[in-house]
Homo-oligomer: A and B are copies of this chain.
């Protein structure tokens, strides 16, 4: 049996697949744009063609999959929000049939990114961490007691739906005032436009998607949010106010998570996180206002450390480091 793990990362913008060594090194990776508007079997055919481009060994240690939610879990019947062709598609079972005799494991893409940061990124050694992605959506994964927390249905980590303002704007989830409704890139850009922001040209379309892993987190709207960040960096007052608004919302939601879960570390990745101090300074300010208990003051918020392979690394960790990141018996 080979000691390589096949990792698959399924998003609305691209599919990625790679071979990962036991230490987390990605030794081969291939990517392809997600066919837009494709039906279930076309999407599956795109994935298998991608796998055929990898030199997959005859025997594998296993297969790890990250995929945009929602999904049934651990069964892995996926219905990614931005991929209408898959509704209840048995992705885990189909890959298990293709690679028989080895563990095939799946989790939400945002959870895989948190696992990657804990296993091989900025969260190494943390006993109590939240790994976040802030981009078109706001998602995450919780690691407590050094182990991935699944919650009852594999959905723990939805930091984007912590309520930060009960009078806040409607959210895609059907609620209102969620962190995601305020801090997601498109929401932020929409707020700035409503305040009279006129987007500059500091960011080109070519920057789109480049550094923001995670299916839900690299969709349309990211470019606009980057333009907003660039304009804020250039001193545009409305753009600055928008970044401060997102930062404060993030700080409040993180404070609630820290107080509830006694976290020592929060990693923040995704496109918007690259705004740097423009985002992190108001984030820190709001966080410290709302974490006054002694234990909570120790928390550190740091940028995610891994780049575009993070999704593959986290998916592989479900197999390679399953003792910490894979709790189901199956």
Contact = CB atoms under 8 A, between A and B. Distances in A.
What class of interface size applies to chain A in its complex with B?
Answer: 35 or more
Nearest to A248: B166
A243 to B, nearest CB: 17
Contacts of A176: 289-290
A256 interface: yes
A159 B162 CA distance: 13
Contacts of A255: 163, 175
Nearest to A257: B260
Interface string A163-201: 111100000011111100000000000000000000000
Interface stretch (A35-43, A214-222, A292-300, A317-325): A292-300
A152 B263 contact: yes
A124 to B, nearest CB: 15
Q: Taking the full assembly, how many copies of this chain does it contain?
A: 2
B293 A158 contact: yes
Contacts of A293: 70, 155, 158, 161, 173-174
Interface string A278-301: 000000001001111111101000
Nearest to A159: B260
Interface in A120-144: 127-128, 142, 144
A44 to B, nearest CB: 24
Contact of A145 (B150, B157, B161, B166): B150
A260 B145 contact: no
A252 B295 CA distance: 24
B173 A292 contact: yes
A157 B144 CA distance: 12
A20 to B, nearest CB: 26
Interface string A247-261: 010001001110111
A48 B319 CA distance: 52
Contacts of A177: 290
Given A151-B262, A152-B295, A256-B260, 11 more contacts: A127-B152, A128-B156, A144-B149, A149-B149, A151-B261, A153-B262, A155-B296, A158-B293, A173-B292, A176-B289, A261-B261
29 contacts: A128-B156, A144-B149, A145-B147, A145-B149, A145-B327, A149-B149, A151-B262, A151-B295, A152-B264, A152-B295, A152-B298, A153-B298, A154-B262, A155-B295, A156-B261, A156-B262, A158-B260, A158-B293, A158-B296, A161-B296, A162-B256, A166-B290, A173-B293, A175-B255, A175-B289, A177-B290, A178-B259, A260-B260, A260-B261
